[in-house]
A and B are shown apart, each in its own frame.
Chain A
Amino acid sequence: NAGVTQTPKFRVLKTGQSMTLLCAQDMNHEYMYWYRQDPGMGLRLIHYSVGEGTTAKGEVPDGYNVSRLKKQNFLLGLESAAPSQTSVYFCASRGGTGPGYTFGSGTRLTVV
């Protein structure tokens, strides 16, 4: 019972490079979310998905893309990384019956 697994845990990128963060959940949850956490700003929603094949923009979507080709996976992509995207990224999932989120352990991304 892994819950929500994020890979990688740490990554350093150069400005302009691209990368994909992977989120996998084994709870058969419908809803999945990507948040970024920055000091003093809490967690801000980047993109979310309400089911396989669906995605939608959150509060801070610029510079990111997402895909949910399989129900258990939610991918977050950075096409051209910028220093402003240095952050800790959290994926979360939620079942259809309850409002509580299950979070992954995060990906710490540094863009230099």
Chain B
Amino acid sequence: QQQVKQSPQSLIVQKGGISIINCAYENTAFDYFPWYQQFPGKGPALLIAIRPDVSEKKEGRFTISFNKSAKQFSLHIMDSQPGDSATYFCAASIGGTSYGKLTFGQGTILTVHP
């Protein structure tokens, strides 16, 4: 049972372009939506996160857009750089007694060509 669906599986972008990765969720109790970045041979690292009370959050070149009614959220990477080439995971969790257990999407392999 995949509660968070992520697309596309892979994405190729030219340097300077915009990378967009989308996620959709089913459980309306989710109240925390992070994105993780993973380089080969490393563990995932928190990139940016949003809560459902805002529709957008921006940190540098990375922006999360959140659509609560559609139960969708997306990651936008502006001015994509070769150093952004990595696997990206969206995730979701419920606060309170769920102990912060994260449910992850399937991952997107991003390749940025120079």
Contact = CB atoms under 8 A, between A and B. Distances in A.
Contacts of B102: 33, 43, 45, 101
A48 B42 CA distance: 21
Interface string A41-83: 1111100101000001011000000000000000000000000
Given A48-B101, A99-B32, A42 B42 contact: no
A105 interface: yes
Contacts of B46: 100-101
Interface residues of B, number: 24
Interface stretch (B58-66, B67-75, B103-111): B103-111
Nearest to B107: A42
A103 B32 CA distance: 18
Interface in B64-112: 89, 93, 95, 99-107
Interface in B25-71: 32, 34, 41-46, 49
* Interface range on chain A (Cβ under 8 Å from partner): 20 to 34
Interface of A is mostly: strand
Interface string A76-112: 0000000000000010101000011101111000000
Given A40-B106, A42-B106, A105-B43, A100 B49 contact: yes
Interface of B: 4, 6, 9, 32, 34, 41-46, 49, 89, 93, 95, 99-107
